[in-house]
């Protein structure tokens, strides 16, 4: 019996001491909480990452790179990203006739072959000019069979190109893969009016050109495309085309909703002017476009090729700025409105934050001890700050400018008083006369002689801890004597 118990105890201890062999060596994702962490991803683009905070990229010089790892946004937001240049990566993209172009990409990532999930991209901006074939997008310039899921992108993207191939979208530029459950709120402007080149242009809320599977995405899109060449504009996908070899692919664009206004012109003789709510042009006969919803769709074609179509066509517009403060859960931003056209956009986003209320005194300060005050969020009541209130400083002396004076009847004079120390908390003074029928004093120390005789003027510090006095003798001048008692005293008295 004893042996059995001992054996059981030993085997139990052995079990406890042994490392768990079943535990897989699952690598922990790298947590990114600031702009420096995002920039460092370029050094290890095959890593697994998770965001640990909202990240402001205002003023950060971002160079897109090929991302082959995984990024879980964890519901956090990257905001104020400005795309001022394409990345170094080039890949071949194809037009509708399967002609290939060496292409560059401007987006958070020049390409995505892994996955990007649960990421919000708020206020992504671009105003690019290029002479190379280029795709501009929010998350992936080129989707290399990667996955983009549960992401949101909002912002304003503009590209001006003289090349023969140009595309823009909010989620992915060119390619294939899976785009699911994403939300877009974007304004996209493309100007490709090189008089010497007919451009193949692609605009899609989710994907500009390719054959990605798109599912359950929600698009709000304002498009402005001015093209000398061929327009392929769609609320969800610009051109759906299988390339270069997979001629048969049973892809889908399904369960999405579209709220889009697409303004465009197509300056070309054999115009096709593809502009549709879901997919601009479908070249893949196996593509399934089902279960999508049109909240609103307007295709506005212009035949005036003399000027590019812009969100705000005013020359040198002047905008009124109105700041919306952040709340506990919402980002703050500035709304810029052109009063002439009514066009407005938002920019300069600020992180969600508490709203500080007035300081509240918890314990008032006294002459013996410090007090305490606190500041709370007016929205959620969280304690934001706590501060000591300095101990009160008592007045130790009060000295009047005169200690004794003589004043003719009906004259006035100004008395002043000095309080020490200079940093005494209460700098107020109160004034009083010992006899109002002889001298009157106002709140500012102005003394008026109202009757013959002697009285005292007192002043006291606001804290009541120091005081001073001045003796005032009121007398009649010779002329006053004569007037009062010899001549018209009875009238003068009135």
| 91, 156, 232, 354: residue in contact with Zn ion (rule CB under 5 A) | 354
User: Which element (helix H / strand E) includes 79?
Assistant: strand 77-79
The answer to whether 289 and 254 have CB atoms below 8 angstroms apart is yes
Q: Tell me the longest C-alpha to C-alpha distance in the chain.
A: 137
Residue with tokens 């671009």: 126
Number of H helices, E strands in the chain: 4, 45
In the complex, minimum distance from the CB of residue 379 to Zn ion, in angstroms, rounded to a whole number: 4
Residues 322 to 351: which contact Zn ion by CB under 5 A?
A: 328
Q: Would you say 218 or 354 has its CB closer to Zn ion?
A: 354
Contacts of 153 (CB under 8 A, 6+ apart): 120, 121, 124, 138, 139, 170, 171, 182, 183, 184, 185, 186
According to DSSP, the β-strands at 257-266 and 274-276 are unpaired
- Alpha carbon 348 to its chain centroid, in Å, reads 5
Residue of this chain nearest to Zn ion (CB atom): 377
In the complex, minimum distance from the CB of residue 32 to Zn ion, in angstroms, rounded to a whole number: 25
Site string for Zn ion, 294-323 (x = CB under 5 A): ------------------------------
In the complex, minimum distance from the CB of residue 374 to Zn ion, in angstroms, rounded to a whole number: 14
In the complex, minimum distance from the CB of residue 325 to Zn ion, in angstroms, rounded to a whole number: 12
Q: Would you say 351 or 380 has its CB closer to Zn ion?
A: 380
For Zn ion, which stretch binds (CB under 5 A), given 144-152, 253-261, 380-388, 435-443? 380-388
Size of the site for Zn ion (CB under 5 A): 6
In the complex, minimum distance from the CB of residue 135 to Zn ion, in angstroms, rounded to a whole number: 41
Cα 347 from Cα 9, distance rounded (Å): 67
Q: Would you say 36 or 382 has its CB closer to Zn ion?
A: 382
In the complex, minimum distance from the CB of residue 358 to Zn ion, in angstroms, rounded to a whole number: 15
Contacts of 182 (CB under 8 A, 6+ apart): 148, 149, 150, 151, 152, 153, 171, 206, 217, 218
| 42, 197, 377, 465: residue in contact with Zn ion (rule CB under 5 A) | 377
Q: Would you say 380 or 420 has its CB closer to Zn ion?
A: 380
Q: Would you say 380 or 432 has its CB closer to Zn ion?
A: 380
The answer to whether 148 and 171 have CB atoms below 8 angstroms apart is yes
**Residue 276 binding Zn ion, by CB under 5 A:** no
For Zn ion, which stretch binds (CB under 5 A), given 24-32, 290-298, 344-352, 374-382? 374-382
* Residue 31: Cβ within 10 Å count: 12
For Zn ion, which stretch binds (CB under 5 A), given 126-134, 344-352, 360-368, 369-377? 369-377
Q: Would you say 383 or 446 has its CB closer to Zn ion?
A: 383
The answer to whether 486 and 466 have CB atoms below 8 angstroms apart is no
| 8, 323, 362, 380: residue in contact with Zn ion (rule CB under 5 A) | 380
Cα 231 from Cα 2, distance rounded (Å): 88
For Zn ion, which stretch binds (CB under 5 A), given 28-36, 51-59, 86-94, 378-386? 378-386
For Zn ion, which stretch binds (CB under 5 A), given 6-14, 51-59, 379-387, 388-396? 379-387
* Residue 27: Cβ within 10 Å count: 8
For Zn ion, which stretch binds (CB under 5 A), given 15-23, 245-253, 294-302, 372-380? 372-380
- Alpha carbon 134 to its chain centroid, in Å, reads 29
Whole-number CA gyration radius for the chain: 40
**Residue 379 binding Zn ion, by CB under 5 A:** yes
What does the DSSP 8-state code read for residue 96?
T
Nearest residue to 268 via CA among 346, 213, 216, 200: 200
In the complex, which residues of this chain contact Zn ion (CB under 5 A)? Answer: 328, 354, 377, 379-380, 382
């Amino acid at each position: 019996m004893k042996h059995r118990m001992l054996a059981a105890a030993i085997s139990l201890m052995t079990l406890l001491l042994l490392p768990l062999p079943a535990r897989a060596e699952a690598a922990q994702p790298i947590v990114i909480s600031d702009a420096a962490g995002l920039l460092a991803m370029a050094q290890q683009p095959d890593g697994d990452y998770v965001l640990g905070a909202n990240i402001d990229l205002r003023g950060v010089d971002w160079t897109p790179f090929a991302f082959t790892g995984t990024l879980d946004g964890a519901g956090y937001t990257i905001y104020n990203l400005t795309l001022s240049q394409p990345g170094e990566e080039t890949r071949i993209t194809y037009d509708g006739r399967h002609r290939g172009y060496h292409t560059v990409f401007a987006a958070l990532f020049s390409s995505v072959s892994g996955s990007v999930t649960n990421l919000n991209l708020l206020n992504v901006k671009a105003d690019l000019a290029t002479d190379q074939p280029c795709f501009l997008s929010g998350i992936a310039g080129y989707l290399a069979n990667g996955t983009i899921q549960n992401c949101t992108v909002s912002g304003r993207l503009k590209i001006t190109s003289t090349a023969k191939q140009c595309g823009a979208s909010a989620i992915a530029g060119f390619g294939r893969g899976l785009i699911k459950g994403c939300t877009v709120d974007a304004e996209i402007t493309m100007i490709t009016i090189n008089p010497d080149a007919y451009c193949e242009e692609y605009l899609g809320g989710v994907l500009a050109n390719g054959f990605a599977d798109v599912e359950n995405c929600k698009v709000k899109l304002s498009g402005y495309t001015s093209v000398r060449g061929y327009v392929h504009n769609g609320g969800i996908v610009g051109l759906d085309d299988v390339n270069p070899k997979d001629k048969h692919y049973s892809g889908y664009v399904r369960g999405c909703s579209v709220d889009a206004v697409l303004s465009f012109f197509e300056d070309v003789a054999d115009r096709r002017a593809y502009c549709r709510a879901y997919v601009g042009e479908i070249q893949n006969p196996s593509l399934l476009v089902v279960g999508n919803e049109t909240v609103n769709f307007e295709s506005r074609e212009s035949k005036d090729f003399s000027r590019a179509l812009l969100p705000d066509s005013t020359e040198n517009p002047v905008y009124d700025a109105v700041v919306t403060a952040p709340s506990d859960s919402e980002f703050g931003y500035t709304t810029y409105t052109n009063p002439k056209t009514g066009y407005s956009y938002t920019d300069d986003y600020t992180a969600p934050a508490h709203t500080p209320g007035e300081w509240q005194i918890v314990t008032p300060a006294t002459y013996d001890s410090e007090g305490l005050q606190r500041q709370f969020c007016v929205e959620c009541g969280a304690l934001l700050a706590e501060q000591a209130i300095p101990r009160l400083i008592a007045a130790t002396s009060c000295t009047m400018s005169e200690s004794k004076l003589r004043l003719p009847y009906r004259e006035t004079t100004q008395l002043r008083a000095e309080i020490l120390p200079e940093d005494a908390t209460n700098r107020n003074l109160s004034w009083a006369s010992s006899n109002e029928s002889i001298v009157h004093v106002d709140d500012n120390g102005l003394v008026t002689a109202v009757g013959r005789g002697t009285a005292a003027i007192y002043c006291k510090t606001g804290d009541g801890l120091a005081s001073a006095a001045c003796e005032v003798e009121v007398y009649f001048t010779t002329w006053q004597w004569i007037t009062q008692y010899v001549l018209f005293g009875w009238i003068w008295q009135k």
